[in-house]
Structure 1
Amino acid sequence: MNHVHTVTGLLSPHRVTGPVLTHEHLALDLRRDSDQEAVLSGTHHSAVTSELAELRGEFGLSLVVEQTCRGMGRDAAALARISRRSQVAVVASTGWYYEPFHLAEVAAAGVEELTEILLTEIEGGLDATGMRPGLIGEVGSHGERPSEPERRALLAAARAATEAGLPLATHAHLGRGGLVQLELLTGAGLPAHRICIGHQDLLDDPDVHRKLAAAGAYVAFDTIGKDGYQSDERRLRLLLALLDAGHAERVLLSCDISRHAYLRHEGGHGYGHLFRSFLPKARAAGIDDDLVDMLTRRNPLRFLTGSQGGEI
């Protein structure tokens, strides 16, 4: 079975005995003129570390997949410090977010050149740290169809993921465009089971969720607790519909903490909202402990390692 590349080295899936948060941010900077709060900088890292350590102690949190990539304020060295101090493993990422956050390199390069940029990071390490990413993501688009630069970034991500044997996670803005993303990525040769389509809990369309899962992709319900976008009650209804359709093995869950106001020490719902609020509601709706383990541990490990079937 493949190991997982973390910021502190290779991790055997057998050592991941507790839950995994599959889409989070621990260090990022998405500030633009219209939004100065979308940041998790050095002044917030102590609070981030404390939250993760607390979740490790209370719920056994074993691993966080950190999806901050190129142009999002990624800080690989900070991720390593947070991981060591919290004693929670962290997977780092490479790729390009959606177009408003693209670096200038995307506009100037073709698919082959962009692919080479990603492979250089995968093989040589992130941000001059030598740390290898374990994921390509969150690679984005922000409409029903990717823009031309987003299409090139997605194709490069698919090619790099295929060559390097890494999984790929997308940013489907407000949940839209996931089927087109999947078609583009699989058309470039990346198997569907190595792909996670992001933010599907923001799309109130169970038919799309079923189609993504039936095609073999992972379906991310990864903005849990962000009530300004969608209520958790509606998220739970959408999740139950996908489970009832027989696609439990294709669901990933997370909270996507992406601004400092979401941290618990600032009064936000925090990284633990999935465990403290959403999963108790899911259990009350009939989801048992084995299914919770599938959604929060076995599915993430299968996605990260490329395993299929009952290997984990």
Structure 2
Amino acid sequence: MHHIRTVTGPLDPSTVTGPVLAHEHLALDLRRDSDDEAVLDARHTDPVVRELADLRETFGLSLVVEQTCRGMGRDVAALARLSTASQVAVVAATGWYYEPFHPHGVGTTDVGRLTDTLVRDVHEGIDGTGIAPGVIAEAGSHGERPSEPERRTLTAAARAAVRTGLSVATHAHLGVGGPAQLDLLTAEGLPPHRVALGHQDLLDDPAVHRRLAAEGAYVSFDTVGKNGYQSDGTRLRLLLELIEAGHADRALLSCDISRHGYLTDEGGTGYGHLFRSFLPALREAGVDADTLDLITRRNPLRFLAGADPRERTDD
């Protein structure tokens, strides 16, 4: 498999022995008029580092895919500091979130210029840091069909992915719209195994999950622990249905920590909820150790490296 770009340099997937958090935020700012809590910044550096270091020591956490992109308060220099301090590798992202968070002017910029912007991030680094993204994410839309500006930003994500070899992870708002996202991305020539459809654990529709997986895309159960949106019991049932349908090789898992109140330091479930609560529940339901390793390590590594899971790899 190809090396994975992290904020501290290239990473050989074969050296990653522990689990991966496939969709997280370590530094972001989603504050708008109605939501002052949706921020992780310098005030939260120490608690974030403590959590990551503890998960590395306790559960072997090896890599975090940090999906904060343009318009979300991205700070890749902070990611490099967090990664170095915690000794956990971190992948940074580029792209555009869903339309309410599009920076001014994106809605009137043509796809070619949007694509060039993302390609420049990949080839030259983000915001003058020299730090390159390792994934195009979280490329967003809301509703069953993307809005016109979202069609353009998703098309740019797909074209940039084709040009750079990176994969695309999406934000399907509340789990809705994954099939339309996949159709749009693959229409630009992006293979489905280089697409991960986000927040599918918020959509209680196993048939959609099976369809996306059967078409070759990754299905992200990435809001584990966010019981205000969906119960973990429902998430567990949906994931078990996907596994039983033969698609364990298309599932990804994460917690999508996106507010400082989710940190364990503030009484939240934290980045480790997946390891402390959800994976034990999967084991209790009869999922074996090899399948858990597939979902938490081999799948996200293959996704990031752009490797087709149908091809045998030495992992």
Which amino acid in the other structure matches residue 193 of structure 1? H
1:206 corresponds in structure 2 to: 206
2:99, 2:224 → 1: CA distance? 24
| Equivalences, count | 312
1:289, 1:248 → 2: CA distance? 12
1:48 corresponds in structure 2 to: 48
Deviations 1:80-103 (A, max 9, x none): 000000000000000000000001
1:107: how far off? 1.7
2:168 corresponds in structure 1 to: 168
1:105: how far off? 3.2
Which SS does the other structure have where 1:129 is aligned?
Answer: coil
Which SS does the other structure have where 2:293 is aligned?
Answer: helix
2:43, 2:89 → 1: CA distance? 21
Which SS does the other structure have where 1:104 is aligned?
Answer: coil
1:48, 1:279 → 2: CA distance? 21
1:38, 1:155 → 2: CA distance? 27
1:45, 1:104 → 2: CA distance? 29
1:218, 1:73 → 2: CA distance? 26
1:232 corresponds in structure 2 to: 232
Deviations 1:120-147 (A, max 9, x none): 1111101210011000000000111000
Give structure 2 stretches of 5+ with no counterpart.
none
2:178, 2:35 → 1: CA distance? 25
Give structure 1 stretches of 5+ with no counterpart.
none
TM-score (norm 1): 0.99
Which SS does the other structure have where 1:140 is aligned?
Answer: strand
Which amino acid in the other structure matches residue 136 of structure 1? I
- Structure 1 residue 113 corresponds to structure 2 residue 113: yes
Q: How does 1:1-312 map to 2 (within 5 A)?
A: 1-308=1-308, 309-311=311-313, 312=315
1:3: how far off? 0.1
1:25: how far off? 0.0
Which SS does the other structure have where 1:130 is aligned?
Answer: coil
1:128, 1:105 → 2: CA distance? 21
1:52, 1:208 → 2: CA distance? 33
Deviations 1:188-228 (A, max 9, x none): 11110000000000000000000000000000000000000
Deviations 1:40-79 (A, max 9, x none): 0110011101100000000000000000000100000000
Which amino acid in the other structure matches residue 237 of structure 1? R
Deviations 1:237-277 (A, max 9, x none): 00000001000000000000000000000000000000000
1:310: how far off? 2.8
Which amino acid in the other structure matches residue 141 of structure 1? S
1:226, 1:242 → 2: CA distance? 20
1:291, 1:303 → 2: CA distance? 16
1:108: how far off? 2.6
Which amino acid in the other structure matches residue 300 of structure 1? P
**Which stretch has the larger CA shift, 97-106 or 196-205?**
97-106
TM-score (norm 2): 0.98
1:78, 1:46 → 2: CA distance? 12
Which SS does the other structure have where 1:190 is aligned?
Answer: coil
1:14: how far off? 1.2
Which SS does the other structure have where 2:246 is aligned?
Answer: coil
1:299: how far off? 0.4
1:220, 1:127 → 2: CA distance? 28
Which amino acid in the other structure matches residue 44 of structure 2? H
Which amino acid in the other structure matches residue 196 of structure 1? A
**Which stretch has the larger CA shift, 90-99 or 108-117?**
108-117
1:115: how far off? 0.2
Which amino acid in the other structure matches residue 264 of structure 1? T
Which amino acid in the other structure matches residue 31 of structure 1? R
1:158, 1:124 → 2: CA distance? 19
Which SS does the other structure have where 1:219 is aligned?
Answer: strand
Q: What RMSD in Å do the two structures reach over aligned CA positions?
A: 0.6
1:160: how far off? 0.1
Which amino acid in the other structure matches residue 267 of structure 1? G
1:303, 1:261 → 2: CA distance? 30
| Runs of 4+ displaced beyond 6 Å | none
